[in-house]
Amino acid sequence: DGGITQSPKYLFRKEGQNVTLSCEQNLNHDAMYWYRQDPGQGLRLIYYSQIVNDFQKGDIAEGYSVSREKKESFPLTVTSAQTNPTAFYLCASSDRFNEKLFFGSGTQLSVL
């Protein structure tokens, strides 16, 4: 079945540590996105990529980094510069930029 796979489901970060969230899709979608969701709030865009080897900052990119070396993969690194990383992270893809979004099941990141 086609879909988006995020891993891990739960992740704990220690102070000063970088952690990487995985996102893989087999939908053959060109565009991929990373969103952050805090309790009781909507989704905020961290980074997006419209095509392989290209990505753009979203509204809250500070403290995060991404890469898009393969069409299927769009990993997100939460760096130590992100001082409030606890949130629910959602990866999404779409056939064309800003068409209907298909989401992975999310990663809950918490700080130890």
Partner 1 sequence: RKEVEQDPGPFNVPEGATVAFNCTYSNSASQSFFWYRQDCRKEPKLLMSVYSSGNEDGRFTAQLNRASQYISLLIRDSKLSDSATYLCVVTANAGKSTFGDGTTLTVKP
- Residues in the site for partner 1, rule: CB under 8 A? 35, 40-45, 48, 58-59, 88, 90, 97-106, 108
- Minimum distance between the CB of residue 92 and partner 1, rounded to whole angstroms? 8
End-to-end CA distance of the chain: 35
The CA distance from 6 to 3, in Å, is 10
We find the least distance from the C-beta atom of residue 105 to partner 1, in angstroms, to be: 5
- Minimum distance from residue 64 beta carbon to partner 1 (Å): 16
- In the complex with partner 1, the residue whose CB is nearer, 48 or 85, is 48
Contacts of 95 (CB under 8 A, 6+ apart): 27, 29, 30, 31
In this complex, which beta carbon is closest to partner 1, that of residue 16 or of residue 42?
42
Please tell me whether residue 68 adopts helix, strand or coil conformation.
coil
